[in-house]
Amino acid sequence: MVRAFEGIKVLDITHVLAGPFAAYQLAVQGAQVIKVEHPDDPDQSRDSGTDKALNRTHMGTGFLTQASNKRSITLDLKTEAGRKILRRLAADADVLVENFRPGAFDALGLGYEAIAKINPRLIYCSISAFGQGGPRGQQTAYDHVIQSTSGIMAMTGTPAVNPMKFGSPAIDYATGTMAAFALASALFQRERTGKGQRIDLAMLDVAMMMMASHISGYLRNGAHPKPMGNKHHHATNSCYQTKDGLVMLGASNLRQQKRLWLALDRPDMVKRTSDERDADHDREEKFLDTILLTRTADEWEEFFQARHVPASRVRTMGEALADPHLATRGVIHRFEHAPGIDGKFGVPLAAFKFAHGTPRIDTPPPQFGEHTAAVLAEIGYSEKDIAGFRAANVI
Would strands 197-202 and 70-74 be described as parallel, antiparallel, or unpaired?
unpaired
Instruction: Give CA 128 to chain center in angstroms.
Output: 15
DSSP assignment of 252-301 equals -SHHHHHHHHHHTT-GGG--SSHHHHHHTHHHHHHHHHHHGGGS-HHHHH
Q: Find out whether 245 and 296 touch, Cβ atoms under 8 Å.
A: yes
Strand order in the sheet with 311-313: 239-241, 246-249, 311-313
CA distance 203 to 186: 19
Would strands 32-37 and 9-13 be described as parallel, antiparallel, or unpaired?
parallel
Q: Provide long-range contacts, Cβ within 8 A and 24+ apart, for 206-211.
A: 206/171, 206/174, 206/175, 206/178, 207/146, 207/147, 207/149, 207/150, 207/152, 207/171, 207/174, 208/150, 209/174, 209/178, 210/152, 210/170, 210/171, 210/174, 211/150, 211/151, 211/152, 211/155
Would strands 332-335 and 345-348 be described as parallel, antiparallel, or unpaired?
antiparallel
**Rg of the Cα atoms in the chain:** 25
Q: Which residues are catalytic?
A: 172
Q: Find out whether 45 and 57 touch, Cβ atoms under 8 Å.
A: no
